[in-house]
Copies of this chain bind each other. A is one copy, B any other.
């Protein structure tokens, strides 16, 4: 029985990506969950500490990290418990996949401790079990890219079918995160239950266009496909200065700008570092007029996903 402590990292991620509601997602760099994990002798999962976010449950049966880990332990019949120390660098309720990186870190850490019986692609399923608690719905559009890295397409949740697609190497992500909290559950409720078929058809076309734009590295096609008829018209109203920020980012050279997940963070895709810098400045200019606290960063798409640090 190992008492060895490991540390894993699972990155933040941005889901939906305009038209790909509940389907598209990509991983971002550096930000995410750092989780220390070791077997314990108490026969149950324990959370010793959570840093970096307030109000998250320490009860293992309520926490996404430990729910995901427990699902994996149950499946392999592992009777030992794991003790977790969690450090989050993504604020919950930002739209940057905080619960997903938590769930991914839990599943990934448990898999490492029990001897890696599962591939990363298989681990997406366990992370989904944790993520389901946060959003009250089975979806993998954040957990898939956080686990796998890159740009993911969740073709189907049941049965789970996740595809990784190519993207331009010099694509950059710029994020502005106004510090107001939007709960995923609440944001989902705002959408209602139906969409018009005419809007759905527009969305089908853009989903196809965004996939083709990414895989063929055609920035113009990526840009004109970043149209969302479903969530953006409703959810953007929750985000201070959204319309203005979007417009100015596009004028500053962004390929496309939309809501990160269910918000309130906003992201732009840009071509290269120089453009990303210009768009970052444009966002700052917009929010300088407000008295909001806003976090900004630029990132590549993280190609690696979840990883073991030690």
Contact of A22 with B by CB under 8 A: yes
Closest to A231 in B: B197
Copies in the complex: 2
Contact of A153 with B by CB under 8 A: yes
Contact of A286 with B by CB under 8 A: no
Residues on B with C-beta less than 8 A from A204 are 19-23, 203-204, 207
What is the size, in residues, of chain A's interface with B at 8 Å between Cβ atoms? 38
Residues on B with C-beta less than 8 A from A209 are 153, 155-156, 161, 163
| Interface-facing stretch out of A44-52, A79-87, A186-194, A242-250 | A186-194
Residues on B with C-beta less than 8 A from A225 are 155
Please state if A195 and B205 are interface contacts (CB–CB under 8 Å).
Answer: no
Q: With A and B bound together, what is the CA distance between A202 and B191 in angstroms? A: 16
Interface residues, chain A, CB within 8 Å of chain B?
19-24, 153-156, 161, 163, 165, 191-198, 200-209, 211-212, 215, 221, 224-225, 230
- Cross-chain pairs A/B with CB under 8 angstroms, 21 sampled: A21-B200, A22-B201, A22-B204, A23-B201, A153-B212, A156-B206, A156-B224, A163-B208, A163-B212, A193-B196, A194-B194, A194-B195, A195-B197, A195-B200, A203-B204, A204-B204, A207-B207, A207-B208, A208-B208, A211-B211, A212-B215
Q: Which 4 A-B pairs have the closest CB atoms?
A: A155-B209, A194-B194, A155-B205, A22-B201
